[in-house]
Each structure stands twice: as structure tokens, then as C-alpha cells.
Structure 1
Amino acid sequence: MLVRLILCSALLGLGGAAAAENCGHLRSAFYEYGAFYYKAADGSWTGIDKDVVDEVARRMGCVIEASTDSRVRIWAGLVAGSLDMSVSAMATPDREKFARVVPYIAEHNYVLLHKDVSDSVRSMDDFLADPSIKIGVIKSFRHGKVYDAWLDRLRAQGRVYEAPDYPALLRLFKVGRVQAMMALSVGWYPLVKHQQVAGSYRVMDWSPQKEALVGGLILSRQRVDAAMAARFSQTIRAMREDGTLKRIFERHLDPELAARLINF
């Protein structure tokens, strides 16, 4: 009887280990952007995206190998199948062809205007009417139907600069190469505490429908099958229901903003 119990326990243990290893070894790329992913005071990487992926890996028994890259190269890796997953991505018809999105955040875009821009610029139409004002965006970012249509009109006038990443976009803004920039809440929130840019801009909310941009983990269809994607979705749902997702957001944002961003 004792031998049988030992054998049964061993088999159960092996079965549990196999289940935990189903997730396997995955490669995830992160990109630097505000509270999503940034360097802490000690030089280590931290942020909402990292904490979400770390917790998902812990719960699913995955080994998720992390790298940091530009958003453009991340998209190229997902399309080519050389990358398994990435983070805080919005679903679009084109992206759905090669990847699945597992939501964990509902964001909203804002326009940050430099303090030197005239106070008379109070709307998208005001901005369009002043040819001296240029705006910066991150290449490959999507901003929702309203803002993307507006940006296309500005592109036709040669008034949009596309930066490879968020730090480059901030540099363009600080040196005056652009007088405005597109930013999500998690992008401009840390700037409030940033001495070099504090008080140098004002935040404008020009999307009339307050269009929500739902983003999350983006999983390569070539590398992550539908069953595994469903497990990711179940794990994120459980993290939201037990309060883990909210606690992760509150590590990097104030409680009010954290609560709003997980309300999707």
C-alpha cells in the first residue's frame, strides 16, 4: 500500500509538472514607455508591463525571456514569427492577422502642448489652422480612429515627426523640434514628477468620444496556439478578478488612474 501511494504521488507530481511546463519557453519583447516599462533608480527595468508578464509567467509555469527593443522591430519580429509575444498592444484588423490580443488595460490618448504654444489652440481644428505647430508620434503606434484621421491630415501637411521610441519623442519635444506630442495616460503621468519637463506642457483631451484604446498582451499566431492563448486570457482574467492587476497598476500609478485603466 505504501509503495502504491508513493507511486501515485510520483505520477501526480509528474502530471502537475507537465501541466506547469505546458507554457514552455517564450520570448517577449518590451518597449520603453512611461509607467509601462522604465528604468528604476538602480538601473533595473520595471513597470506595469513587466509586472504583468512576470505574474502571468509565475501562474502559468512559463519561462518568459525578456528583451527590450523599439516598437517597430517588435512588430517585425511578431510578423516574422521570431518573437512569441509582446505587451500593451492594441488590436487592429491588420494585427489580428498575425497575432491575438489578451486585454489588460483600457487607455486614452491625449495631446501634450508645449507651454509656448498659444492659448488660442484649444482644439484639433485650431491646431490644423496653425501651420507653425508640429506634432511628434511614435512610429507604428495607433491612436484610435479620431486621432489617427487627424494625424493623417497633419501628415499631408508635413507636420508629423515619427520618433522610433518614447525617449526619442520626449527629446524632440524638449528641444522644440515639435511643439506637441501624442501620449497615453501612462506616458504623461510620470512626467508630472519629472523636474526637467514639469510645467513645460499642458494636457489636451481632444477625442470627442473619449475613445478607449484597449490593449494587452499580443501573442504570435505562429508561435502561440489558440489553446495556449486561451490560457493566457484565463490567467489575466483571474488576475483582474482577484485584485492582482489593480495592485500591479497601483505600484506605478496613483489609485484613481489605476482603477480607471483596468475598467475595460
Structure 2
Amino acid sequence: MLSRLVLRCALSCTLLCATGAGVAEPRSGCQHLRVAFYEDGALFYHAAGGGWTGIDKDVVDELVRRLGCTIEPSVDSRVRIWAGLGSGSIDMSVSAIPLPEREKIGRFVPYMTGRNFVLLHKELSGRLHSMDNFLAHPQYKIAVVKSYKHGHSYEVWLAKLREQGRVFETADHLAMMRLFKLGRVDAVMATPTTWYPLVKQEQLAGTYSVMDWAPRENMVSGLVLSRRNVDAATVARFSQAIRAMREDGTLRRIFERHTDAERAGQMLNF
């Protein structure tokens, strides 16, 4: 009887230890963070001389310098990045918009704000002057980047357009702007940090009009750090560093480096 009890206790201990060993605790500190970037206009793009540059890269580089982190950078699509954050194969990403479903897998540290605009072919701006007006003309189509969020009003509008088969989903902003340039779509959804460099790249200057159809829907974005891999104390250190970068003017200088002074001031309103 005693031997059976000892055997049961030993087996229970083995199972508990095995279960505990299989659950990884979020690590403290920022040593060897796997940081995923994604190509997006002025946020992250190829520099003229080769290599990557952009607002997101400069923000991460400054955080690395201030906090003494080491990072393993990668570049991927936004869809795969969110999957990696959820599975734990990625520790951190950039310019992410907090949403309830995303809060379950990551903690957010904001560093900029902005909003989406609709870019129309210039000859259409006189007849298309609102979301409802666009919706009322079934011949017109719009392109967006797959998995991107655009604010409540735009998402409701896009859902109605999707029901009518009038939304093209593209893998990235470059593909979206090419559809626009070729006339496959009549409009695209973009932020200023997206269209500034792409308009130059696609030689679209003077061919489009910017429509501000949701002027009150600013969206805050920033770092997202995996809940599975990064503890709350480390997230707090990132938040403190971002606050210091805002107060000492570093964030403004980074924004101005890749956009302009007016846009940089607007991006600081988070």
C-alpha cells in the first residue's frame, strides 16, 4: 500500500515538473530581442545608398543605444509579423496600432500618431467628396493593404465596399500604389508617411488629390512587445525611454528626418 502511494506521488511530481518546464516565463531585460520590421513608406524603406532606413528603424536604433539592448532584426509582411508575435517567434515589432484582440498578445508603447486619408485620381476629386458619395457610385474601386486598420469610420465604409467587391487587397503599399498608377483602382487608403516616398517612387506627383474624410480619427501607434516573451518591467523601460526621447526632441528630429516639420509636429500628438 505504501509503495503504491510513493509511486503515485512520484508520478504526480514528474507530471507537475514536466508541465512547469513547458511554460516559458517572459524574460526580463532587452538582450537579444527579435525585432520585426515591415516596409512602409517613410516608416521603413530602402535608402538611396542601399540598406534600410526610416522612422521605425531610427526609433529602435535610439532605444538600443539608450537601453543597451541587442537585437536580431528581420523584415516581413505585417500578417506574418502578427502571427510571429502570437506564437512567440518574434519579440517586438513597430508602428503597431493597439486593438483589443492585439492587446491579448502584446503590450504597446506609443511613439507617434497619424490618420488615414483617401487618395483619389485628381480628375475624380470634383465629383467624389465623401465616403457616402464614393459608395453611391458602384463603378469606383479602392485598394488597401491587407490586414491594415484604418479607424472605425473607414472600416465601416470599407466593409460595405467589400460586400460589393470594390476593395482590392494588396500585400504592401508599393503594390497598392502601382494599382493606383495603372488605373486599376480609383482610390487608395494611405497615411502621409506612406505616400510621401511612394508618390516620388511611382512618379505620381500632381496626379492625385488627398481627401480627409475622417478628420477626427487619429490613430496612435508604436512598439508592440510580445506578452509571451517580454515582461512588464522591460516594457516599462521602453516606455520611459520613449517619453525621454519625446521630451528632449529626439522623436521630433527623427520624424523631420523622414517627413517634414509640419507633419512631425502632428505626429507628436500621442
Mapped pair 1:186 → 2:193: yes
Specify the alignment match of 1:53 in structure 2: 60
Specify the alignment match of 2:268 in structure 1: 262
Q: Alpha-carbon deviations, 1:19-58, whole Å to 9, x = none?
A: xx93210011111111101111112110000000000011
The question of whether the paired residues in 2 share the 8 Å contact of 1:191 and 1:198 is answered with no
Structure 2 stretches lacking a partner, 5+ long: 1-27
1:103 Cα deviation from its structure 2 partner: 0.2
Structure 1 stretches lacking a partner, 5+ long: 1-20
The question of whether the paired residues in 2 share the 8 Å contact of 1:29 and 1:69 is answered with yes
Mapped pair 1:214 → 2:220: yes
| 1:95 counterpart (82, 97, 102) | 102
Question: Between Structure 1 and Structure 2, how many residues are aligned?
Answer: 243
Runs ≥4 residues deviating over 3 A? 191-195
RMSD: 1.4
Provide the C-alpha distance between the structure 1 equivalents of 2:56 and 2:252, rounded to a whole number of angstroms.
13
The question of whether the paired residues in 1 share the 8 Å contact of 2:174 and 2:198 is answered with no
Q: SS of 2:120's equivalent? A: strand
The question of whether the paired residues in 1 share the 8 Å contact of 2:181 and 2:202 is answered with no
For 1:1-264, what aligned pairs fall within 5 Å after superposition?
22-117=29-124, 119-191=126-198, 193-194=200-201, 196-208=203-215, 210-264=216-270
Provide the C-alpha distance between the structure 1 equivalents of 2:71 and 2:104, rounded to a whole number of angstroms.
23
Give the TM-score taking structure 2 as reference length: 0.87
The question of whether the paired residues in 1 share the 8 Å contact of 2:97 and 2:221 is answered with yes
Specify the alignment match of 2:16 in structure 1: none
1:195 Cα deviation from its structure 2 partner: 6.4
User: Identity, % of aligned pairs?
Assistant: 63
Provide the C-alpha distance between the structure 2 equivalents of 1:51 and 1:252, rounded to a whole number of angstroms.
10
The question of whether the paired residues in 2 share the 8 Å contact of 1:78 and 1:85 is answered with yes
Q: SS of 2:124's equivalent? A: coil
Structure whose CA Rg is larger: 2
Aligned partner letter, 1:233 = S
1:196 Cα deviation from its structure 2 partner: 1.2
Task: Judge which range, 117-126 or 47-56, deviates more.
Answer: 117-126
The question of whether the paired residues in 2 share the 8 Å contact of 1:28 and 1:65 is answered with yes
